[in-house]
């Protein structure tokens, strides 16, 4: 080894020894211990300090604290109100300057964690309370597969999400804002109506049909390969166990094995409906069962050549921006992106609800010899979604 080589090796070693490489904290747990206190826990690196960021809507973030070196927990005691959604992120100190959505990554921060005080998130953070498993499972007296307490997934989900043990009532499409159902928020997803013997006060015109084979999904795969032969269930779109996706949405669908959804449910203020700020991923989720409807820019002017159906039809594109069309279209419907204006993208959720819709409709479809009314899960009466953008 030459003297010159030894010199440069020495310099490299010195630079490595003196440089500081961010080591990401991991495994953030957000545990409400009351309606006004939330405990944060994470896996820390020795000698590293951390910034704690918080938001209620995903748009406005605040750095609420900077820890000492090696800290792995923090009690949030200021500004917390019960029955609101709080989102947190822990990052290596100084690596995020203003916006975790654009500056956070796997090298400098945890995933975003969510808390719903005063109750624990029973689908996440099991190690904080191992009794959470017993909400859904029985070791020796289970009635359903996977040791479920009840015969089916749907019955198990509805033990909480019928409005008795969760702030989210999927039957009526409501969100409790104060622990009661006296003055609830409307859910952005809409109502399913009566399911599995449960009674609902809502009568949706159309709803995602639980129990229908996935190969019957419009724009889906009509060939009954294994993944498509499964029946539509709560866990077709959600995962019962830990997920970093918004609303514990699944990360794996029949057509898309990798699904990443980021959004924030804003339950603050006096609005009538829980507001969702969509950031990314909803088109990927929906096209997991409806791949032929994931049409790109220009699809409205070119015949479709679908993933499973080359039917020659024309389809409204998604992933396009209203501001790019004509003199700049505008809409009050939810778009997906960071701009928070009409430069964001149209997604499936812009026009449709995910669970059910009570919007008025004059549309009738033939079903088993008779007509039934439907509105295709549209957000607005009739074709109000069209005229919200295309004002006539």
Residue 3 has what pLDDT?
58
DSSP letters for 193-256: -S-TT---S---SEE--TT-BGGGSTTS--S--HHHHSBP-HHHHB-SS--SSGGGB-S--SS-
Write a three-state SS string for 6-60.
HHHHHHHHHHHHHCCCCCCCEEEEEEECCCCCEEEEEECCCCCCEEEEEECCCCC
Q: Which domains does the chain have, with CATH numbers?
A: 26-127 (2.60.40.10), 205-392 (no CATH)
Residue 20 has what pLDDT?
46
Residue 10 has what pLDDT?
53
> Per-residue pLDDT for 11 more than 60?
no
DSSP letters for 136-194: TB-SSS-SBGGGBSSSSHHHHHHTTTTTTSSSEETTTTEE-SSSSSSSPEEPTT----S
The mean pLDDT of the chain is 90
Percent residues over pLDDT 70 in the chain: 92
- Cα 245 versus chain centre, distance: 5
> Per-residue pLDDT for 270 more than 90?
no
Query: Between 310 and 266, whose confidence is greater?
Result: 266
The pLDDT of 223-248, averaged and rounded, is 92
What is the per-residue pLDDT across 92-125, written as a single tens digit (0 to 9) for each? Answer: 999 999 999 999 999 999 999 999 999 888 888 8
Residue 19 has what pLDDT?
42
Residue 297 has what pLDDT?
83
Q: What does R_g of the chain's alpha carbons equal in angstroms?
A: 24
Q: How many CB atoms lie within 10 A of CB 241?
A: 11
What is the per-residue pLDDT across 126-166, written as a single tens digit (0 to 9) for each? Answer: 777 788 888 899 999 999 999 999 999 999 999 999 999 99
The pLDDT of 56-61, averaged and rounded, is 96
- With vertex at residue 261, the alpha carbon angle to CA 260 and CA 262, rounded to the nearest 5 degrees, is 125
Residue 330 has what pLDDT?
96
Is residue 205 within 8 A of residue 360, CB to CB? The reply is yes
- Overall size of the chain counted in residues: 392
pTM score of the predicted model: 0.89
Calpha distance 33→130 (Å, rounded) = 15
């Amino acid at each position: 080894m030459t003297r010159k080589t030894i010199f440069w090796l020495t310099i490299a070693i010195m630079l490595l020894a003196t440089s500081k490489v961010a080591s990401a904290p991991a495994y953030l747990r957000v545990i409400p211990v009351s309606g006004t206190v939330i405990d944060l826990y994470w896996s820390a690196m020795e000698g590293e300090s951390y910034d704690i960021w918080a938001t209620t809507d995903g748009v406005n973030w605040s750095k609420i604290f900077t820890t000492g070196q090696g800290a792995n927990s923090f009690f949030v005691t200021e500004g917390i109100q019960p029955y609101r959604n709080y989102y947190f992120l822990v990052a290596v100190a100084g690596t995020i300057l203003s916006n975790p959505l654009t500056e956070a990554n796997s090298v400098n921060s945890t995933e975003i964690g969510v808390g719903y005080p005063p109750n624990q998130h029973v689908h996440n953070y099991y190690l904080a309370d191992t009794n959470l498993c017993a909400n859904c499972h029985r070791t020796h007296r289970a009635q359903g597969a996977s040791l479920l307490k009840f015969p089916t997934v749907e019955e198990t989900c509805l033990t909480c999400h019928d409005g008795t043990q969760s702030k989210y009532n999927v039957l009526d499409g409501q969100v409790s804002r104060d622990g009661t159902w006296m003055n609830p928020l409307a859910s952005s997803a809409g109502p399913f109506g009566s399911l599995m013997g449960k009674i609902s006060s809502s009568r949706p015109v159309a709803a995602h049909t639980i129990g229908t084979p996935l190969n019957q999904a419009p724009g889906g795969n009509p060939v009954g390969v294994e993944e498509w032969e499964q029946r539509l269930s709560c866990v077709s779109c959600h995962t019962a166990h830990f997920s970093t996706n918004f609303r514990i949405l699944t990360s794996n669908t029949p057509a898309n094995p990798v699904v990443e959804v980021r959004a924030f449910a804003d339950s603050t203020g006096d609005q009538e409906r829980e507001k969702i700020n969509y950031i990314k991923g909803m088109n990927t989720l929906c096209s997991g069962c409806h791949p032929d409807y994931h049409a790109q820019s220009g699809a409205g002017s070119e015949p479709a050549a679908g993933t499973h159906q080359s039917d020659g039809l024309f389809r409204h594109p998604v992933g396009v921006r209203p501001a790019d069309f004509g003199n700049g279209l505008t809409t009050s419907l939810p778009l997906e992106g960071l701009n928070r204006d009409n430069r964001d993208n149209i997604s499936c959720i812009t026009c449709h609800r995910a669970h059910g819709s009570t919007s008025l409709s004059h549309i009738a479809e033939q079903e088993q010899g008779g007509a039934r009314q439907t509105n295709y899960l549209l957000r607005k009466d009739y074709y109000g979604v069209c005229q919200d953008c295309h004002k006539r």
